[in-house]
Structure 1
Amino acid sequence: MVNLINIKNDGMKQSLNLSLLTFSIGLFAWSCSKVDSNTPLTPSKGTPAKVANVTVRNDSAKAILTYTLPNAADIAYIKAVYDLASEKSREVKASVYDNQLILDGFGDTLEHQVKVYAVNKAEVASEPVTVTVKPLENPIWGVFRAMKVVPDFAGIRVITKNPARFNIAIEILQDSLGQWFPFNGIYTSTDSINTAIRGMDTLSKKLAFFVRDRFLNRTDTLFQTITPFYETAIAKSDYREYTLPGDAVSAWASNRVANLWDGNWEHWPGCNITKDEGMPSVITFEIGRLTQLSRIVIWDYAEYLNSGRGYYYGGNPRKFEIWASPNPPLDGSWSNWTLMAACEEVKPSGLPYGQLTNEDRTAGMAGFNWDLRADVSKMRYIRIKCNQNWSGGFYQSLSEVQVYGDPR
């Protein structure tokens, strides 16, 4: 009896499931037929009127159009269609809540014909209004003219200005047996570009440089043969503490300055944390030999936050100075010290104090690379002076350092 009932129930379930499946397939097919019809959601009220009173303001690599919208309730947007120097057609749109179109992407200063349309909610376009624009010079050319490329330690340095803060790429190619291949690039919108590209040997290299924008407009090419300077990591086995009068006191006996070259980038007590004594905190150490300094990498101590370990927090230096001397006075004065770099840490995310992204943590874990002056004599002693940490005080919490240069 029980088995028969189960069989009956199973059959009813199968029949019901089959009916539901058939209904679902039918409903899906009906929905698809509706979608595939591609008919406007709003019926057309005919061809809309044209925009009026179009004015042109030419700007760097772009032109700005202002206009009067047609007096029609069903206008959805305004669009402009024009050709770039690459002969590619570009289309830009603006909503009916604005009376301005920004036409960008121009790589020349020639005249361009632009057709402006009003488009209604049924996607019917008006007759075009044709205007002529003549954009001003693309900022990539100013960046190119100001660009200088010089040898640097274990690489090259690209220096230029980008006062318009235009979004640019400086593409770098390298010659190999008469063929040019992509080598590296700088991608930025900052106004002052001073970027080192390292990891090169000291052999002469034939390099080519040009500037482009996101529309692939590009400048002429700068060709240059460059021989990078020699650079090596100064062995940490030669580093020594060199405490001078006025230097900061470590907050704990175990947090000595010598911890900065113990190979421990993260864990307590392998760090140096100074006391906050109400004035800039200074630590001093020597690297064992006179060296033509090139840069220093500083790893901040990963402070404890509510969300775990993190950077840009507590005693991590925010604004600080790096000084060097070949032979410092024993009284702790600054009379024979040279300012090698004035530094400021910038949090990639820009989030408020105590808030971090994965990008922030990654940047902190990688260490901060600070370029040092190359126009001074060889140095042996280094001072780090913290003028302001991320909590607003003066003490500093560091984990590791690595100095680079030419000790030969």
Structure 2
Amino acid sequence: MKLTIKTIMIMLLLGTVVSCRKSEGHNPINDDPVPPAVVTGVSVVNLPGKAKITYQVPNDERLLYVKAEYVPTSGVPAEAKASYYLDSLIVEGFADTKEYEVKLYSVSRSGVESEPVVVKVQPQEAPIWKVFKSMKVLNAFGGFNITAENPSKDNIGLIVLSKNKFLEYEANNNWSVFTNVDSILQKIRGLDTTLVTLGFLVRDRWGNTTDTLFQDIKPIFEVQLDPSKFRGLALPGDAPQVTNGARLEYAWDNRLGWPYTSFTHQVNGGPQPHMITFDMGVLSKLSRVYIRPYPEGSRWYFLTTMKRFEIYGSENPSSNGALDASWTLLGYYEVVKPSGLPYGTDNNLDQTTASAGFNWEIRLDAPRVRYLRIRCLENFAGGTAQSINELKVYGDPR
């Protein structure tokens, strides 16, 4: 059979491809049966929930990596590996401060292990216990709040246990939180005011858990205050509204768009923080204030929308308009633009977030008040004027 040069070239290329494919895979680099030298000079630094093991890497060309084998608190065997370029590795997954045995192996390029070097570790208190000890559960309006500190920023689950239909405690995934932030705040809302006992524990990614804290929870009663009782109150120092239709009372009229909005006049109001004041008509323990920004041009929210502002409350304010002892600061607030885009540019997330409005919680230890005052420190345009398309107030007026 005659073979053309073209046919020969194709066969050679196919042979090369087949040869390359045969070399693929995770087979040992060679079949050398000799184990590599062991690590030496081993030292241990115990850390929260883990330990760092440092060693001297043997000068052995057979060595590929160093492996640690151990059994952490969960009882499930674990291992950690480090390349021969490194001189340390981390063993983790410990939930207590007991002493544990770790076996270090040198592993060759052909997968042969050395004899183990046994070392003892005794981790410090695991991060889940720091979270658990700092955890606080407080009754809130319509639910409860969970706060905790996670200074090491470990991945943890703060698990809430509630009773199922069989009256057995099980994890409530809707109320639990899984996070690695350093300061944890979980707010549960929409609950009845009946007394309920819940369990709280902390779990790490290895399945270790803390003890369970059981606590009685009784959400605080909350309703929307009747806006028909609201009345504008122009005190000395309050900023004037714009003159082409906007009025303070439009902030709670349940109508959207222009001119049904409260909009203060930047020039006539001056460069100082702009304030508005109104009477809610009833003395109440407040829970939150809902504010929907005004969309200029029908969709651009982050213009005269308040960026930084304060809310004050009073039972009987001074007639001179001063923010004196007759007023109590109920909270300082800051609006964060979700996209982080520059001024004058909103994306769909910005518009969706702002059109839904923002709920600003009042601190739980605030006194009962009848009058509210909103003070704009800065808007997104860089001024101090404020625009509020719709406002609702929630709390307990009983």
* Correspondence for 2:378 among 383, 388, 391: 388
Structure 1 distance, partners of 2:20, 2:355, is 52
> Kindly tell me: are residues 317 and 112 of structure 1, through their superposed partners in 2, closer, same or farther at Cα, counting changes over 3 Å?
farther
Q: Classify the secondary structure of the residue corresponding to 2:129.
A: helix
Structure 2 distance, partners of 1:136, 1:310, is 52
Partner of 2:161: 173
Partner of 1:151: 139
Partner of 2:368: 378
- 1:90-109 CA distances to partner (integer Å, 9 max, x unpaired)? 33334455433232221111
Does the Cα contact within 8 Å between 1:153 and 1:228 map onto a contact in 2? Answer: yes
Q: Classify the secondary structure of the residue corresponding to 2:317.
A: coil
Structure 2 distance, partners of 1:83, 1:347, is 47
Partner of 2:190: 199
Structure 2 distance, partners of 1:97, 1:396, is 60
* Correspondence for 2:239 among 222, 240, 248: 248
Partner of 1:316: 305
Superposition map of 1:183-222 within 5 A: 183=172, 184-222=175-213
Q: Is 2:121 the counterpart of 1:133?
A: yes
* Correspondence for 1:235 among 207, 210, 226: 226
> Kindly tell me: are residues 241 and 100 of structure 1, through their superposed partners in 2, closer, same or farther at Cα, counting changes over 3 Å?
farther
Cα distance, 1:202 vs. partner? 1.2
Does the Cα contact within 8 Å between 2:104 and 2:118 map onto a contact in 1? Answer: yes
Amino acid corresponding to residue 324 of structure 1 in structure 2: G
Structure 1 distance, partners of 2:346, 2:59, is 50
Superposition map of 1:339-378 within 5 A: 339-346=329-336, 351=340, 353=342, 363-378=353-368
Q: TM-score, with normalisation over the residues of structure 1?
A: 0.77
Q: TM-score, with normalisation over the residues of structure 2?
A: 0.79
Cα distance, 1:404 vs. partner? 0.9
Partner of 1:291: 284
Cα distance, 1:205 vs. partner? 0.8
Structure 2 distance, partners of 1:240, 1:143, is 46
Does the Cα contact within 8 Å between 1:251 and 1:273 map onto a contact in 2? Answer: yes
Structure 2 distance, partners of 1:73, 1:303, is 70
Does the Cα contact within 8 Å between 1:111 and 1:133 map onto a contact in 2? Answer: yes
> Kindly tell me: are residues 81 and 238 of structure 1, through their superposed partners in 2, closer, same or farther at Cα, counting changes over 3 Å?
farther
Does the Cα contact within 8 Å between 2:143 and 2:190 map onto a contact in 1? Answer: yes
* Correspondence for 1:111 among 94, 99, 114: 99
Cα distance, 1:269 vs. partner? 4.9
Cα distance, 1:406 vs. partner? 0.8
Give the CA RMSD over aligned residues.
Answer: 3.6
* Correspondence for 1:101 among 89, 94, 101: 89
Partner of 2:8: none
User: Which ranges of structure 1 fall in alignment gaps of 5 or more residues?
Assistant: 1-22
- 1:239-271 CA distances to partner (integer Å, 9 max, x unpaired)? 333332222334563443334334456x55554
- 1:293-350 CA distances to partner (integer Å, 9 max, x unpaired)? 111223334578xxx9566x4443333211111232332212311111122344567x
Cα distance, 1:161 vs. partner? 3.6
Does the Cα contact within 8 Å between 2:72 and 2:92 map onto a contact in 1? Answer: no
User: Which ranges of structure 2 fall in alignment gaps of 5 or more residues?
Assistant: 1-10
Q: Classify the secondary structure of the residue corresponding to 1:328.
A: coil
Structure 1 distance, partners of 2:107, 2:249, is 71
Partner of 1:7: none
Partner of 2:69: 81
* Correspondence for 2:323 among 309, 317, 334: 334
